[in-house]
Amino acid sequence: MANDAQYVRMTGSPISYGRAAATRRVAARRVSTPSNQETMMPQAQAKPGKLLLSPSDHTLILIDHQSQMAFATKSIDPVVLRNNVALVAKAAKEFSVSTIVTTVAAKTFSGPIFDEIRSVFPGEEFIDRTSMNTWEDSRITDRVNAIGKSRIVIAGLWTTVCVVGPALSALDQGFEVYVIADASGDVTDEAHERAMERVIQAGARPMTSLQYLLELQRDWARSETYNQTVATAIQHGGGYGLGLVYAKTMFGGSEGH
């Protein structure tokens, strides 16, 4: 192969030589560099992904599930909403999830919290606020800090205000945020959908109430929570719950075996 000086004398063009040399270097790299598939191949491991929730890694905040807020909620049927809220509350109780329950103007405007929450947490003192954004009440943030977990799971009425406010505020301060979409609701379908889009665009992760329960269980061989998880799913899991009833009744089905 001609050296630099010979190449220039033969072609009379240092520019042509430079282009040719660059071409040869690119070709050499293509030959010598392993393919991306060879260097980047992931290795499967039998362990959960880091984005999955576990009972001990997050704080659940249930916000303003009250009569007055539910009256105007049209994005979800109130019966379905109450069912889903009950499922979430029971899941949190069953798995000992750190939980904050808060209301707004309970005695002067919005009324009592859903019985589906009160019955699961009897004797609990719920934090009653005046602020629309839960995160702007220092009693809430003090509780979050005292609990000391960097993940926040939120459900509330209405999505545009009572979910968006704390979700965006928590994200801004470095928390990971999950929103249980079907345990929340708003005055119209569009209001709920736009609010969910807004928090998702900001980095929140959406999920559903049944997904929340099953993500906390995650393995039917976990016998200490198996019975209660199945009972909650049967009572509040809709068609899935009916399937569990059928399987157990007809042929003694058991998910853990």
Give residue-wise pLDDT tens across range 27-37.
555 555 555 55
Q: Are residues 109 and 177 in the same domain?
A: yes
Between 221 and 21, the more confident residue is 221
pLDDT at residue 189 in the model: 98
Residues 160, 66 share a domain:
yes
pLDDT of residue 5 exceeding 50: yes
Instruction: Residue 65: give its domain's CATH number.
Output: 3.40.50.850
- 91 with 209, same domain: the answer is yes
Do 100 and 148 sit in the same domain of this protein? yes
Supply 132's token pair: 């629309």
Collapsing DSSP to helix, strand or coil, 16 comes out as helix
Contacts (Cβ under 8 Å, ≥6 apart) of 35: none
Residue 21 lies in a domain: no
Co-location of 234 and 129 in the same domain: no
163-177: average pLDDT: 98
pLDDT value for 36: 56
For residue 230, give its domain range: 224-251
Q: Which residues are catalytic?
A: 162
Closest alpha carbon to 171 in 189, 143, 150, 148: 150
- In total, the chain counts a number of residues equal to 257
**175 in the same domain as 246:** no
Degrees to nearest 5, angle at CA 202 with 197 and 206: 55
31 versus 136: the higher-pLDDT residue is 136
Domain count, the chain: 2
Q: Calculate the average pLDDT of the chain.
A: 89
Q: How confident is the model at residue 211 (pLDDT cuts 50, 70, 90)?
A: very high
Same domain, 147 and 187: yes
Is residue 164 domain-shared with residue 236, that is, in the same domain?
no
4-18, 94-108, 200-214, 221-235: segment of lowest average pLDDT: 4-18
CB 52 within 8 A of CB 168: no
Alpha carbon distances (Å) from 150 to 34, 115, 153, 178, 184 = 40, 29, 10, 11, 22
Angle, to 10 degrees, between the axis of helix 189-202 and the axis of helix 164-172? Answer: 0
Do residues 205 and 236 share a domain? no
